């Protein structure tokens, strides 16, 4: 079974600075997807960024980028120029490439932005 581990329960960063959230996963599959979701106080789950395992290029979405190391099974999220609105719980998630498979979530990292 696949597992996802986020070893940082809480992180904090100064506004406008850069922060990196860690995520490791375990799988025997070669084709899969990795995601970072944000859950603000409203509790709405918002997709931040998505990475396909067969793509070597790291995904980027504006201020958000990932460092995907397939061999090391590592998938970290870098947030640049942190903003107050980035404060939220961040969940790393894994999904098999097989259609209809569930998302496997990590434990989450609570990110605080200090003004």
* Candidate ranges 22-30, 69-77, 78-86, 91-99; the one touching another protein (CB under 8 A): 91-99
Contact string (CB under 8 A) for another protein, positions 32-51, x = contact = -x-x-x----xxxx-x--x-
Residue from 30, 56, 62, 99 binding another protein (CB under 8 A): 99
User: Residue 23's beta-bridge partner residues?
Assistant: none
Distance CA 76, CA 109 (A): 12
* 56 near another protein (CB under 8 A): no
Quick one: 16 or 58, whose CB is closer to another protein? Answer: 58
Binding span for another protein by CB under 8 A among 15-23, 60-68, 76-84, 104-112: 104-112
DSSP string, 2-64: -EEE---SEEEEETTS-EEE--EEE-S-SSEEEEEEEE-TT---EEEEEEETT--SPPEETTE
CA nearest neighbour of 45 among 103, 115, 113: 103
Chain positions contacting another protein, by CB under 8 A: 33, 35, 37, 42-45, 47, 50, 52, 91, 95, 97, 99-100, 102-103, 105-108, 110
């Amino acid at each position: 079974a696949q597992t996802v581990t986020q070893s940082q329960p809480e992180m904090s960063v100064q506004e406008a600075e850069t922060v990196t959230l860690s995520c490791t996963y375990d799988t025997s599959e070669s084709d899969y997807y990795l995601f970072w979701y944000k859950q603000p106080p409203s509790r709405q789950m918002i997709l931040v960024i998505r990475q396909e395992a067969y793509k070597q290029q790291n995904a980027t979405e504006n201020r958000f980028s990932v460092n995907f190391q397939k061999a090391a099974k590592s998938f970290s999220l870098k947030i640049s120029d942190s903003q107050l609105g980035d404060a939220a719980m961040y969940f790393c998630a894994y999904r098999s490439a097989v259609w209809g498979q569930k998302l496997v979530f990590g434990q989450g990292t609570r990110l605080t932005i200090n003004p």
